[in-house]
Amino acid sequence: MTRLRRFKQVDVFTAEPLKGNALAVILDAEGLTDAEMFAMARWTNLAETAFVLKPESPEADYRVRIFTTDKELPFAGHPTLGTAYALLQSGLKPKNPGHLIQECGVGLVRVNQLAEGGQAFSAPPAKLKPLAAEHNALLATALRGGKIQAGVTPVATDMGIIWLVVRMESAQDCLNITADAAAISELQTRLGVNGIAVYGLHDKNGPADYEVRALIDEDGVMKEDPVTGSANACLARVLKAAGFPDGAHMAEGYRVRQGTKLQRDGRVTVTFVDGEPWIGGDTCTLIDGTLDL
């Protein structure tokens, strides 16, 4: 028997509708089977669909399961911010003033409400593995059109979802990439990564500090994620491990633009608190209603 369930579709990492990354949030997911969650995720046909459940941990405000059209993710960034925002907008009262505790596949993730608006999540710990030189030629083919920064080793960064983080010579080199889907697919298979996150430094007076793109091959189809919380969290971990190569001031925080090639304008703020990265941004609601599911 179906029932009416609260539903929101939100745009994450933007204060302006249609400029960020869309997320479907089913706010009453109790009783749904895995098969039904997958079916719903395929129906929305978005990058991710989030299902909110009662928490199992006494510390958590809620539990979330995150589905793509073909797999469940233990963690993802824009679903973390989008789900927290949707719950707050729906009247959820945090157990602790000023922040929520999300329970998900990687454990407990704290999501702060920012004084200036928006939310920020604490980036989970990550395992960093430098790319072996034997893969450099394939990587250059995968990122044709852009120049990879010489002397900076790409790093596979694992925080439940795994991104190969690659530095380009400039922000423009990120935008110049014409990705080779076959080469990206081969890299994903060889390295066991979910995709490639490229970044490059903007000029001093640019629209942000870094330009970021997140490139993924899915079943032979080249896709680009509009704005990616997990990729930016992985980048923050890589920059910290490298000692903030673009200046000590970066240890306080920096700004990212993502989605430019897709005619989006996603904005991500990264702030370091006691040396730990927090990934933040705005969210807005586009659809608010119920599902008969």
- Catalytic amino acids? 48
**Could you give the dihedral angle defined by the CA atoms of residues 114, 120, 121 and 127, in that order, rounded to the nearest 10 degrees?**
-130
Question: Between β-strands 21-26 and 49-53, what pairing exists: parallel, antiparallel or unpaired?
Answer: parallel
Determine whether 186 is exposed, middle or buried from the number of CB atoms within 10 Å of its CB (0-12, 13-18, 19+). middle
What is the phi/psi pair of residue 288, to 5°?
A: -140, 115
Name, in order, each residue with C-beta under 8 angstroms of 30's C-beta and a sequence gap of 6 or more: 53, 54
**What are residue 277's DSSP bridge partners?**
272
Q: How far apart are CA 289 and CA 293, in angstroms?
A: 13
3-state DSSP assignment of residue 24: strand
Task: Print burial letters for 222-253: b (CB count within 10 Å at least 16), e (below 16).
Answer: eebbbbbbbbbbbbbbbbbeeeeeeeeebeeb
Q: How far apart are CA 15 and CA 178, in angstroms?
A: 29
Output the DSSP codes for 55-80.
-SSTT-SEEEEEE-SS-EES--HHHH
